Amino acid sequence: MASHLLNNMNTQQQDGIVTVDGPVLLLAGAGSGKTRVITHRIAYLIEERNVPAEQILAVTFTNKAAKEMAERVEKILGHSTLAMPTLATFHSFCVRVLRRDIEALQVNGVGLTRSFAIYDETDQQAVVKAALKRLGIDDKSLKPRVALGRISWAKNHMIDPQEYFLASANPIEEKIAHIFEIYRKELAKANALDFDDLLLETVRLLKSSKEVRERYNRRYRYVMIDEYQDTNRPQYELMKLLAGDHGNVCVVGDEDQSIYSWRGADIKNILDFEKDFPNVRTIRLEQNYRSTQMILEGAGAVVAQNTQRKGKNLWTAREGGSLIGYYEAPDGENEALFIADRIKKYLREAGQQEELPRCAVLYRTNSQSRLVEEALRRYQIQYHMVGGFSFYDRSEVKDILSYLKLVQNPHDSVALGRSVNSPPRGIGKTTMETLERMALTTGISTWDAIARATEEKLLPARALTALGNFRRLIEDARAMLGPDFAAKLTEDVGGSVTEDDTDFNFVTDQVSDVDGGGDTSFDTSSEPAPEAVVDASFDTSFNFGFDFGPSEEISTIAAENATDSDAAHGIDVASFNPFAPALSTKRGAPAKAEKPSPLAQSEAPSERPAFRTAGEAATLPELIKFLNDRSGYIRALEDEATPESYSRIENLKELANAAQDAQERGETLADFLDHAALVSDADSYSAEARVTLMTLHAAKGLEFPLVFLTGMEEGLFPHSRTITDPTGLEEERRLCYVGMTRAMDTLVMTRARYRRRYGSDMPESSMPSRFLEEVPSRLVEDLGSPPAQPQFGRGGGSDYDSPFERRNRFGKGQDTDGGDRHYSYEDEDQSGQGGQRNNNLRAAALGRPPQVGSGSMD
């Protein structure tokens, strides 16, 4: 029976679709239609085999993949069916099972109930801390997050506390085993599960209760798993349990794309599948439908360097195609601008032909997104981040920014609240509540409340010591900025409040905390940009749409507070002025009026020196490094020693790089904070952005017509942590293969010859990634390697100076449209000529190039 579902499918794919009874193992390279087989198989079961949709379960790894699969199935089925199959991630499926059946695990009525809580990281930490306390372990000698990391590792390998204890090789590991045991009991007592437990408990449930297992086997008669190469042990067990007696399980994967070994994913699961299901039908697909021949050959050549693989042939009918582009940027900033420039052109040109032009910028480490984000904003290109936050919204970045805000203005209570106990330094909630109450009732800032509490010994000695250390840290940081800066606070807030001081709005308080999970999108052009920033004489008075009431009222409150508090407590005006943060922000940059927007890189360099006076004061990156170290923040992350914590460290180092860039633009600390506030502005949310930014890990399973693979440098990709370890290196290479094979039509690989490392003023030179060398040169087109452009991005030129407009000089790009040689935003700018100046300033504040007039180039 020929089904329309088999149309346009090759024989092997058809095989995969119609072999619905019994176990199927579909192993095939990237883009060969594995996921497509799953979706068509689902439709086939429903349409041709009359299987009720609710009897079908398909599991994949990420929410995005699950969503995409659902969309594909819906498209095939149209509206012919009301019921939909279950398309879930492992975790969401497990939650569903447990919410229904977890009580079957109770013994004599004891055990978790269906209303169990799911503990997040904060909850988990609290439990571990309590366990440490109970065991009398100092949380400095064993960090809670370290213990948690180990516990999670054990769970992903299905090791229980007792086994952990038996296997432990040193006293620390033994302690962790104890903590593990307490942790487990505490969660049970609290009727709670953590993320890893969701899987483990589902496995335990299905193993221990025949009744429940059989019910699920009856319910889900057809089970499919995508991205099978990345399953870990609990997931493997779950698959086996779900396969039950019917054994109708189809797993699809590609051993060359196994990239999650650090989460316990085990290639052995593929081998074991054939052992556990001896009657398995193994299918291999060899035709790639996604990519052009150039891309496929390039990717194939890279992964062929791995020794731990079976090897396979993959071919595509899409002969030829454009060569793989390679661009060698002088530095990271230029690399990002090159990408933004290319994307701009692509969107403009492809927009007319393709229904939905889409492209992706992929990078190895999260911290690399910062430069790309800033470049895209400059070009006013909407983007969307998958599986992570925009750089300035990441919690560790926000934490260190809070320190910086405190350095700028110690009376910023929000910043103080955020930084005072991160990393944990024994300043608890009660202490903070006491201080905040004190601040509120006496009209002083929390910062001053600390001083008073210390003076009058209003808190336990331990808390006071911790607070004293914290205060000293901030004061030392302020002192680093030189006497001028340290004196500024007094000067800023010591004077009387004039009317002039009232027409500002908070900048430093724009803490829109969006910590949590999920995707974040930024749409920098569809939403009207934040208003204001139109007055060249005062470019930090951003109005975020808050209404602080009439200015007279503000001055009255401020003045009243002043008199009141001054008289009663003998404290300086700043301490109780409710507007102190903004006041200091404004006054903290006294020379604003003379200086063009700090973010307008195109304008003449500032005459005003940065806060750094005569070489004696610290630079911005030095300040950040100092805070990173002295606060213990980096050390805490190092102790954690998980891939996540390393990624956080990289983000903090990248923040220092951002600060070095700011320093070179002549920005002050206040300017830098303004910049961060603007860039993280989350007003502009759009999930429809056509540009996706993500790590290579998050890109698995996806495809885009245009893909940029960035940061192709030794030490970055392959990552320095893997270079000495052959297994790790092979996994990096697989990651490279995953990245390259995301591209359908065009693949561009980029690298920076020099890259900043941790706020250095001299970027370090880098070696090209070995993966680049593994791509045969006949497949590569050199898109240029411009010399360093010292004037670029350093506030040097009088016009915005893009290196990419001068293709005739050094670019060999395919893009030879001579017509569009200027950065003009006229096509988007509705405001006409009259609004241009304001728009330029606004653009500048948002970090994009202002318009340049015709003929100003070259």
Single-letter amino acid, residue 158: M
Provide the pairing of β-strand 249-253 with 222-225: parallel
Q: Is 192 annotated as ligand-binding? A: no
Can 35 be counted among the known catalytic residues?
yes
User: From ligand ATP, Mg ion, none, which one binds at residue 438 (CB under 5 to 8 Å depending on kind)?
Assistant: none
User: From ligand ATP, Mg ion, none, which one binds at residue 621 (CB under 5 to 8 Å depending on kind)?
Assistant: none
Residue of 257, 642, 695, 750 marked active site: 257
Residue whose CB is less far from ligand ATP, 289 or 626? 289
| Contact by Cβ (8 Å): 635, 684 | no
For the bound state, the minimum distance from the C-beta of residue 319 to ligand ATP, rounded and expressed in Å, comes to 15
Residue whose CB is less far from Mg ion, 229 or 306? 229
Residue of 226, 266, 393, 731 marked active site: 226
Closest CA to 333 of 847, 857, 852, 834: 847
CB atoms within 10 A of CB 853: 9
Residue whose CB is less far from ligand ATP, 146 or 259? 259
Q: Which residue number has the CB closest to Mg ion?
A: 35
For the bound state, the minimum distance from the C-beta of residue 53 to ligand ATP, rounded and expressed in Å, comes to 21
User: From ligand ATP, Mg ion, none, which one binds at residue 697 (CB under 5 to 8 Å depending on kind)?
Assistant: none
Q: How far is CA 228 from CA 15, 26, 267, in A?
A: 19, 9, 9
User: What region does 515 belong to: left with phi over 0, alpha with psi -120 to 50, or beta?
Assistant: beta
Closest CA to 818 of 763, 762, 769, 858: 858
User: From ligand ATP, Mg ion, none, which one binds at residue 538 (CB under 5 to 8 Å depending on kind)?
Assistant: none
Q: Is 570 annotated as ligand-binding? A: no
Residue whose CB is less far from ligand ATP, 197 or 731? 731
Can 214 be counted among the known catalytic residues?
no
Closest CA to 628 of 619, 615, 637, 641: 637
For the bound state, the minimum distance from the C-beta of residue 508 to Mg ion, rounded and expressed in Å, comes to 46
Residue of 13, 15, 34, 789 marked active site: 34
Can 399 be counted among the known catalytic residues?
no
Residue whose CB is less far from ligand ATP, 453 or 702? 702
Beta bridge partners of 719: 715, 716
User: From Mg ion, ligand ATP, none, which one binds at residue 575 (CB under 5 to 8 Å depending on kind)?
Assistant: none
Residue whose CB is less far from ligand ATP, 35 or 217? 35
Rounded to whole angstroms, the Cα distance separating 24 from 40 reads 15
Quickly list H helices, 761-848.
770-774, 807-810, 836-845
Can 227 be counted among the known catalytic residues?
yes
Q: How far is CA 13 from CA 90, 123, 248, 272, in A?
A: 25, 46, 17, 23
User: What region does 57 belong to: left with phi over 0, alpha with psi -120 to 50, or beta?
Assistant: beta
Q: Is 551 annotated as ligand-binding? A: no
Q: Which residues bind ligand ATP (CB under 6 A)?
A: 8-10, 13, 28, 30-36, 254, 257, 289-290, 701, 703, 741
Residue whose CB is less far from ligand ATP, 7 or 307? 7
* Helical packing angle, 144-156 and 195-208, nearest 10°: 30
User: From ligand ATP, Mg ion, none, which one binds at residue 32 (CB under 5 to 8 Å depending on kind)?
Assistant: ligand ATP
Please provide residue 374's backbone torsions phi and psi, each rounded to the nearest 5 degrees: -65, -35
Residue whose CB is less far from ligand ATP, 32 or 334? 32
Can 437 be counted among the known catalytic residues?
no
Q: Which residue number has the CB closest to ligand ATP?
A: 33
For the bound state, the minimum distance from the C-beta of residue 730 to Mg ion, rounded and expressed in Å, comes to 21
Residue of 12, 35, 229, 380 marked active site: 35
Please provide residue 782's backbone torsions phi and psi, each rounded to the nearest 5 degrees: -80, 120
Place of tokens 């999670």: 152
Rounded to whole angstroms, the Cα distance separating 690 from 695 reads 16
3-class SS letters over 191-257: CEECHHHHHHHHHHHHHHCHHHHHHHHHHCCEEEECCHHHCEHHHHHHHHHHHCCCCCEEEEECHHH
For the bound state, the minimum distance from the C-beta of residue 34 to Mg ion, rounded and expressed in Å, comes to 5
Rounded to whole angstroms, the Cα distance separating 325 from 781 reads 5
For the bound state, the minimum distance from the C-beta of residue 753 to ligand ATP, rounded and expressed in Å, comes to 31
**Count of H-run helices and E-run strands, the chain:** 32, 19
Residue of 68, 194, 197, 227 marked active site: 227
Residue of 378, 742, 756, 807 marked active site: 742
HSE, side-chain direction, 13 A CA sphere, residue 254: 27
- DSSP letter (8 states) at residue 385: E
For the bound state, the minimum distance from the C-beta of residue 461 to ligand ATP, rounded and expressed in Å, comes to 59
Q: Is 190 annotated as ligand-binding? A: no
For the bound state, the minimum distance from the C-beta of residue 32 to Mg ion, rounded and expressed in Å, comes to 9
Can 184 be counted among the known catalytic residues?
no
For the bound state, the minimum distance from the C-beta of residue 298 to ligand ATP, rounded and expressed in Å, comes to 15
Residue whose CB is less far from ligand ATP, 447 or 771? 771
Q: Which residues bind Mg ion (CB under 5 A)?
A: 34-35, 701
User: From Mg ion, ligand ATP, none, which one binds at residue 233 (CB under 5 to 8 Å depending on kind)?
Assistant: none
Quickly list H helices, 459-527.
461-480, 482-494
Rounded to whole angstroms, the Cα distance separating 147 from 125 reads 9
User: From ligand ATP, Mg ion, none, which one binds at residue 33 (CB under 5 to 8 Å depending on kind)?
Assistant: ligand ATP
Q: Is 29 annotated as ligand-binding? A: yes
- DSSP letter (8 states) at residue 614: T
Q: Is 490 annotated as ligand-binding? A: no
SS3 382: coil
Instruction: State the binding site for ATP.
Output: 28-35
Instruction: State the binding site.
Output: 28-35
Positions annotated as catalytic residues are 34-35, 226-227, 257, 742
